[in-house]
């Protein structure tokens, strides 16, 4: 490719401030449709032409028009996520991971909340999302409404499900929820506690929940898993439960299904005259930023929700690329994003009885 001035010029020889696709084609010695195919990934372009086009783009400082590409593709360079529990910390972390992946590929990213949507409204919500012509859709499963929304996505639309039971969708990314719940419970039992009380919020309709992991560990230890309490998002409810549990002489360990519930329980236990971990060990889940700063520092299971979102976008992008190139779709798969137990000061061996 001939090297020279880096600015695009008009026929009159005047310098033009913003290069357009015709300038790239002229400098690279290819047609405008070839440049368009290179930018959109809609068909294969030879390695020689790809290199020349890439050099021309860099030399000119060309920035493709998002709208023009969308018109050429008949879909937007964008992805949408449908999710319930949109205000939850875990959901925002997952969303951030999807957004980072989308940004790296030059895609716009939007979130549509299903919070407060009833079954009759789901179809309208999904129709509005699809009317924006996204290149693909991610569904973050947390309840039956999200599952219903997923079922409305056309079969030819690239789609990835985050969460759910393994096999709920051809392309799926799931966190190690059940394995994590089991690991936390095993940690407490391994310290010498004879049983573990579980406190949790409502969980999604799937077989990969933290509560199931708690039951798995208890069953493996030969303990009947009967002491489970469901609480709502109002943390005062968990504080009150902590006060009630403090009155028990037999409880020595609690596994809370998330960190907010854990610290609320600790507050209630303290108000009930019990010390953590001297009297009762408490472990949380999610390992939020405040977990190591709490008093005592909170033992918690660290689940990489950002990676979960990034993996979901990568899986979606592979489908988008295959569809645009006319290739076969990637092999369906279910990826598991593993977490890890972080042991801190809130859990310890039970106090020896006098």
What is the DSSP annotation of 47-109? HHHHHHHHHHHHHHT----HHHHHHHHTS-SEEEEEESSTTSHHHHHHHHHHHHHHHHTT-EE
Each residue of 137-185: pLDDT tens digit? 999 987 788 888 999 999 999 999 999 888 999 999 999 999 999 999 9
Domains of the chain: 8-72 (1.10.260.40), 77-175+306-338 (3.40.50.2300), 177-302 (3.40.50.2300)
pLDDT bracket for residue 15 (50, 70, 90)? very low
pLDDT digits (tens, 9 = 90+) for 34-70: 887 777 655 577 888 889 988 998 898 887 665 555 5
Rounded-to-integer distance, Cα 43 and Cα 318, Å? 15
**C-alpha distance from residue 9 to each of 12, 16, 57, 60, 253 (Å):** 8, 5, 15, 11, 74
Q: Which value, to the nearest 10 degrees, does the dihedral of the CA atoms of residues 96, 98, 102, 107 take?
A: -90
Task: Summarize pLDDT for 106-125 with one digit per residue, the tens.
Answer: 999 999 999 888 878 888 89
Say how far apart CA 110 and CA 91 lie, in whole Å: 14
Most confident range (mean pLDDT) of 23-32, 320-329, 333-342 is 333-342
């Amino acid at each position: 490719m001939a090297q020279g001035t880096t600015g695009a010029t008009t026929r009159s020889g005047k310098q033009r401030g913003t290069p357009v696709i015709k300038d790239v084609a002229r400098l690279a010695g290819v047609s405008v449709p070839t440049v368009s195919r290179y930018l959109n990934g809609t068909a294969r372009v030879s390695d020689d032409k790809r290199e020349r086009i890439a050099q021309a783009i860099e030399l000119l400082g060309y920035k493709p028009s998002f709208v023009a590409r969308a018109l050429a593709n008949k879909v937007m360079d964008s992805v949408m996520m449908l999710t319930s529990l949109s205000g939850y910390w875990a959901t925002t972390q997952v969303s951030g991971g999807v957004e980072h992946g989308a940004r790296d590929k030059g895609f716009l990213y939007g979130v549509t909340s299903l919070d407060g949507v009833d079954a009759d409204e789901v179809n309208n919500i999904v129709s509005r999302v699809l009317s924006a012509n996204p290149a693909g859709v991610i569904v973050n499963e947390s309840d039956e409404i999200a599952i219903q929304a997923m079922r409305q996505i056309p079969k030819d639309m690239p789609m990835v499900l985050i969460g759910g039971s393994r096999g709920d969708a051809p392309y799926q990314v799931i966190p190690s929820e059940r394995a994590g719940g089991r690991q936390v419970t095993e940690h407490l039992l391994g310290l010498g506690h004879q049983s573990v009380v579980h406190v949790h919020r409502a969980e999604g309709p799937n077989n990969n929940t933290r509560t199931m992991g708690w039951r798995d560990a208890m069953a493996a230890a030969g303990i009947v898993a009967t002491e489970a309490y469901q609480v709502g998002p109002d943390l005062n409810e968990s504080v009150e439960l902590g006060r009630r549990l403090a009155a028990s002489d037999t409880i020595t360990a609690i596994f809370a299904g998330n960190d907010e519930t854990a610290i609320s329980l600790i507050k209630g236990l303290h108000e009930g005259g019990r010390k953590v971990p001297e009297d009762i060990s408490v472990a949380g889940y999610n390992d939020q930023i405040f977990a190591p700063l709490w008093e005592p520092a909170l033992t918690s299971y660290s689940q990489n929700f950002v990676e979960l979102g990034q993996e979901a976008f990568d899986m979606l992008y592979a489908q988008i690329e295959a569809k645009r190139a006319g290739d076969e779709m990637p092999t369906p798969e279910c990826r598991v994003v593993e977490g890890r137990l972080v042991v801190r000061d809130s859990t310890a061996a039970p106090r020896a009885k006098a």
